[in-house]
A and B are shown apart, each in its own frame.
Chain A
Amino acid sequence: MDTSVLVVTILILTLFGYWMGRSRARLLAGGQHLSVLHSLPSYHGSYVALWCGLPALLLVAAWLVFEPAIIEYIVIEAIPGARALEPAQLSLLVADIRNLTSGNIVSREIDPALAAAGEHYLSLQYTSHAALIVVALSVAVYGFYLARKSQTRDFRARNRVETIVRIVMVVASTIAILTTVGIILSLIFETLRFFEKVSVNEFLFGLNWSPQTALRAEQVGSSGAFGAVPIFAGTFMITALAMLVAVPVGLLSAIYMSEYAGPRMRAVAKPILEVLAGIPTVVYGFFAALTVAPFFRQTGEAAGLMVSSESALAAGMVMGVMIIPFVSSLSDDVMNAVPQSLRDGAYALGATQSETIKQVIIPAALPGIVGAVLLATSRAIGETMIVVMAAGLAANLTANPLEAVTTVTVQIVTLLVGDQEFDSAKTLAAFALGLVLFIITLGLNMIALRVVRRYREKYD
């Protein structure tokens, strides 16, 4: 029986449990009005169903999570001398056994020992599967039996069901915390391993980045230097270019939208600007690489300038366009939130509309606008696809936006896409860069949210 079939069977049992519990409750009422029961029959049904399905499904999930590790452990224990192997060789051996059992290509000769281990693995898997089916189904049936036994007229089924639902909700609300913890732990764990191989100082302050580590000692040009300064500089430059486009355009359109535009214009222009935020970033990347970059290069050539076909300019400009709605919609909101009395006061003193905006509304809305710009900056720093497709791969420490530079996100993608060993400094470097990215965007974000919130309190 397949796992999915097992799950479906348990779900059918659950449905059956609901139906049985409900009809049992009706029977308990014995033809009298249903109010002789403490809880409605549907709650009795849900109670039985929960007891029938929940423990069994949890068991199946836990089993599937832990099964591979346990089987692996037993198989490795059974191979003589396997425990003495280096960790890297051991993981290769495990991968081979797994590939052998699933019929994939194996990296070495299939000797009798390996074949025996494969057999052992398969037989254990078979046993485990059979055991899972038996145990899960008996848990479901036993739960059903227990729940039905407790059904009486006075049984508080509703309260029990509500407690369970409440627990489920609490668990669901902690998923967000668990995700954050998961992100932090996985990043920190891998980063610490990276810093065992490369010093923190070299990573943060080194000027040379070439992550190709040599496979053999005599290999040329693969020194494996991990100085991330050129990457940070490249990220900074592309982000700055993006903000150079997004801040003026976004802010001016927000001003026009909130102060000048009539309701009809607003109703048309605002959704169009939001569309810019809804276009997938891979589309912007394609646009930047195939339309904007060649255009800049040809214009540059006509003007006698050397423009790289992966220039920071093209990637930055297109990213700026993508960021426009982040700046404009948030600024629009904060400017709308400025009390009308401030505007009226300025008009009464004889200020024109633009003077009111420049001297009253913008200063009043400034914290909110700063918050919007910070949020947009954090978006730009973390943006991946545009730079992967339109910016360069080689780390290049330069201040010229016409040359190719690389960014943190580009490096993460190039280091991790394709075949990789999980323990090399190259792979781990990606996690270190990821940690830097996470800390910077999180910091920007927290500052921005705090600024915006403080500003809201001022006018609420």
Chain B
Amino acid sequence: MTDMAISTAADKQQTEFSARLQKRYAAERRFRAYGLGAIAIAVSILGILLGTISFQGAPAFFQTYMKIDVYFDEAVIDPAGTREERTLRTANYQALAKRGLYEIFPEVTERREKRTLSRLLSSGAYRPLGEMVVNDPSIIGTTQTIWLVTSDDIDTFYKGQIDRETVEADRRVKDNEIAWVDALEADGRVDLQFNTAFFATGDSREPELAGIWGAVVGSFLTLIVTLSVSFPLGVSAAVYLEEFAPKNRWTDLIEVNINNLAAVPSIVFGLLGLAVFLSFFGMPRSAPLVGGLVLALMTLPTIIIATRAALKAVPPSIREAALGVGASDLQVVTHHVLPLAMPGILTGTIIGMAQALGETAPLLMIGMVAFIVDVPSSVTDPSTVLPVQIYIWADSPERAFVAKTSAAIMVLLGFLITMNAIAVMLRKRFERRW
């Protein structure tokens, strides 16, 4: 009887225990799933982000062109027959291109309709014609078959981003334009071609003519300035702090300062640039020189911190051995410690440069948001940089700029991935465990 009572009590305890254990195990599994879920969320958001951008950006790498027979009429290009470059360059090629287009559709006679027809071509489509004539004046008087850029609406339509089925009033491309494009297509006169202009020209108000080359060059010049200021300064500061500085309040202050500077919002550096470089020193607005200096101040902490970590990793035995054979303090550093720490320093520098390449906000403050068509040729020319170009295009209302923006983002990410890959490779290849 007592035995049985004990055993039922034990059974009861046993079931209670195992039920609690089951519950605890379930909690364990749940908790684990939360963690995995969090990582999955982060990774899938990254996937969605990159996916939408490549999906939106891919069409921008191709551009719709239209084949037109252009008659290079001497009466329009060079009536005086002087063949001066200036006349050849500034002649009314737009009229020639339009005339070629009208000839394909002789049935279009009404003025208004003709004007709509001419808008199939981009307003800058005729530019290559002038270039052709200047390079080879002998084509004047002949008829050439040339592929010309279409306007952005026709381009988006041809890429299938405008639905034919929508009501005409809600559509950017009207019924008659669609009919023309269809006729041209049936004739083999419309085609998608790789958009080389996108990689070769500067900004433009017309999406079909806008390119990123100006911004790429601007970014490059800015980074050159940043690198040539922040690398020597950062490395020498780090060497001093790590190898020579006495431990006192002043160096403590510097150290705290560098750590805090690394976390100051980038826009504050922009304010500094505006107040000091532009207002006080009167440097030119929108110039890569100023942008580079601001970004240099911003990346300096990154480089200093990375360099110090790399110097710390070099074992003291190396220093002692060098001192033992009679090297001076500075020789120890320049001949032995620095070369050994160089891979780490370069990795940190590349990562700092990648940060600088993607930075936008401080450059807005110093006026690098101006609309600039020309490709900059020196560090004092007004220019823009890739991320700012992305910002400008993202703000533009034309639909075709969405694709351009995404494409520019793809190019920017491409540069960043390359830089980071180089940094990872450097680390893998030269990393040394002592």
Binding site for B on A (CB under 8 A): 65, 68-69, 158, 162, 165-166, 168-170, 172-177, 179-180, 182-183, 186-187, 189-190, 248-253, 255-257, 259-260, 269, 272-273, 275-276, 278-287, 289-291, 321, 324, 328, 352-355, 357-358, 375, 378-379, 381-385, 388-389, 409, 412-413, 416-417, 422, 430-431, 434, 437-438, 441-442, 445-446, 449
CB neighbors of A among B102-149 (8 A): none
Contact across chains for A383 and B265 when beta carbons are under 8 A apart: yes
**With A169-B244, A280-B412, A321-B42 known to touch, is A286 a contact of B390 (CB < 8 Å)?**
yes
Interface residue B28 (Cβ < 8 Å from any Cβ of A): yes
Contact across chains for A385 and B265 when beta carbons are under 8 A apart: no
A170 and B163 CA atoms in complex are apart in Å by: 66
B38-71 vs A, CB cutoff 8 Å, 1 = contact: the mask equals: 1101110110010011001000000000000000
A173 and B244 CA atoms in complex are apart in Å by: 11
> Quick one: which of B39, B234, B268, B394 contacts A256, CB cutoff 8 A?
B39
Contact across chains for B32 and A256 when beta carbons are under 8 A apart: yes
Contact across chains for A283 and B275 when beta carbons are under 8 A apart: no
Q: In the assembled complex, how far is the CB of residue B349 from the closest CB belonging to chain A, in whole angstroms? A: 15
Contact across chains for A280 and B416 when beta carbons are under 8 A apart: yes
Q: Which of the four size classes fits the interface of chain B?
A: 35 or more
Describe A's contact surface by its main secondary structure: helix
Interface residue B232 (Cβ < 8 Å from any Cβ of A): yes
Interface contacts beyond A180-B257, A183-B271, A255-B35: sample of 17 additional A-B pairs, CB < 8 Å, sorted by A: A166-B240, A173-B237, A183-B269, A253-B42, A260-B35, A273-B42, A276-B42, A276-B46, A278-B354, A282-B358, A283-B49, A384-B265, A409-B361, A413-B364, A416-B364, A437-B265, A449-B260
A283 and B210 CA atoms in complex are apart in Å by: 19
A287 and B48 CA atoms in complex are apart in Å by: 10
Contact across chains for A169 and B236 when beta carbons are under 8 A apart: yes
Contact across chains for A384 and B266 when beta carbons are under 8 A apart: yes
Interface residue B400 (Cβ < 8 Å from any Cβ of A): no
Q: Return the chain B residue nearest A181 by Cβ.
A: B257
Contact across chains for A179 and B272 when beta carbons are under 8 A apart: yes
Contact across chains for A257 and B39 when beta carbons are under 8 A apart: yes
Interface residue B241 (Cβ < 8 Å from any Cβ of A): yes
Binding site for A on B (CB under 8 A): 24-25, 27-28, 31-32, 34-39, 41-43, 45-46, 49, 52-53, 56, 232-234, 236-237, 239-241, 244-245, 253-254, 257-261, 263-269, 271-272, 274-276, 279, 281-282, 297, 300-301, 304, 328-330, 354, 357-361, 364-365, 367, 369, 387-388, 390-391, 394-395, 402, 405-406, 409, 412-413, 416, 420
| Interchain Cβ contacts within 8 Å, total number | 243
Contact across chains for A378 and B28 when beta carbons are under 8 A apart: no
Set of chain A residues within 8 Å of B38, measured between Cβ atoms: 248-253, 256
Contact across chains for A431 and B259 when beta carbons are under 8 A apart: no
A422 and B412 CA atoms in complex are apart in Å by: 34
Contact across chains for B271 and A187 when beta carbons are under 8 A apart: yes
Contact across chains for A162 and B330 when beta carbons are under 8 A apart: yes
